[in-house]
Structure 1
Amino acid sequence: MEIMKAIIMLVVILVAFPLVMNGQETEYNVETESVSTHVDKILNGPINKEGLQQMPYKLWFNSNYKTYRVNTDLLKDAKKKNIKNLKILAFMGTWCHDSNREIPRLMRIMDDMGIGDQLELYALDVDKTSLKGKEKGFDIKNTPTIIFYLNGEEIKRVIEEPEGSFEEELVRILK
């Protein structure tokens, strides 16, 4: 009888473990209701390019991403640096016009540099909060807030828009 209980318990554990682990995977591009009067839904929590390329977000994302001309001359030297140690954490609002303009530009530059996977992107609601609470401890007051890390250390924040361009910011950061 004890052996039967042990076998049943083992089966329960083997079945339940993958279900529990699967529930811990990051869910991207979650839509929630908006309190803003000019949009019905917003993205909230971790997001990626695929989420921004869906309606209605693709209306502003695709046009800003595709039409932005990356200053490749300015980035020539930056591309030669050890850019693998650069990480970017960005908080944005799909309801925010500054985010709608700046985040596609930043993503275009990072894709051009071959480091698009080094961007971690979170969408916030109008109260600057997210479903996962990732923004806690980062003192986010405006969107977008883009935090640059080099070798794990925060070295720069761009709030709302860069001084000049993101290319100029990257050149300064990677000196």
Structure 2
Amino acid sequence: MKKILLGVILVTSIGCLAQKKETSVTKDEEGNLIGNVNKANFLQEPYTDWFSPNYNNYKTNKETINKLKPLLKGISIKAFMGTWCSDSQEQTPAFYKILDEVGFNYKNLELVAVNRDRETPNNLQKGYDVERVPTLIFYKDGKEIGRFVEFPRETVESDILKIVSGKPYKHSYED
């Protein structure tokens, strides 16, 4: 009986720790989100003031969305944005709309909100070479296959399609 009780306590503790890491979001002195975030964070004031209109007003290309659907299976994404950044305020809602329309598995997305220095207190940005936000890094089989940086060359969904389909793609700051 003691072993069963100990097992239940251990599993519960591990679950709580994992959940705590997932929701490790704080605010800086200006009220900007810092840490791991998700769409629910942006549906609260004051972030919904920019998130909801930009999400609702972004019109995706349905043909591109249909091409993306099968290609995003098996893809994981590590993304960085700043709630203080106008490009992030524009591109993050568009990014979420695209992921919603393709039925993306959000377990394969980690979105990190950074401060104006592109950092978090837990150094979640370390090793990812984030110079501008938003930065969306796409992985297949654990290897980076490309990244979207700050704004699209064409449209967000067409840029993502090029990345995940293996076509030549250079983000906005590559020569």
User: Same fold, TM exceeding 0.5?
Assistant: yes
Gap change, CA 1:102 and 1:82, over 3 Å in 2? closer
Match for residue 173 of structure 2? none
State, as a whole percentage, how many aligned pairs show the same letter.
33
Does residue 1:44 correspond to 2:58, yes or no?
Answer: no
Task: Decide which structure has the larger Cα Rg and report it.
Answer: 1
Supply the distance in 2 between the matched residues of 1:125 and 1:50 (Cα, whole angstroms): 19
> How large is the RMSD of aligned CA atoms in angstroms?
2.4
Does residue 1:162 correspond to 2:152, yes or no?
Answer: yes
Supply the distance in 2 between the matched residues of 1:60 and 1:116 (Cα, whole angstroms): 24
Q: How does 1:1-175 map to 2 (within 5 A)?
A: 17=10, 20-21=13-14, 22-25=16-19, 26-28=21-23, 30-34=25-29, 40-79=30-69, 81-115=70-104, 117=106, 118-175=108-165
What SS is found at the alignment partner of 2:157?
A: helix
After TM superposition, the score normalised by the length of structure 2 is 0.80
Runs of 4+ in 1 over 6 A off after TM superposition: 13-16
Equivalent residue letter for 2:164: L
Cα pair 1:29 1:43 within 8 Å, conserved: no
Gap change, CA 1:85 and 1:14, over 3 Å in 2? closer
Supply the distance in 2 between the matched residues of 1:82 and 1:108 (Cα, whole angstroms): 17
Equivalent residue letter for 2:44: Q
Q: CA deviation at 1:164?
A: 0.9
Q: CA deviation at 1:138?
A: 0.7
Cα pair 1:107 1:116 within 8 Å, conserved: no
What SS is found at the alignment partner of 1:106?
A: helix
After TM superposition, the score normalised by the length of structure 1 is 0.80
Gap change, CA 1:134 and 1:174, over 3 Å in 2? same
Gaps of 5+ in 2: 166-175
Q: CA deviation at 1:20?
A: 4.8
Equivalent residue letter for 2:89: N
Gaps of 5+ in 1: 1-6, 35-39
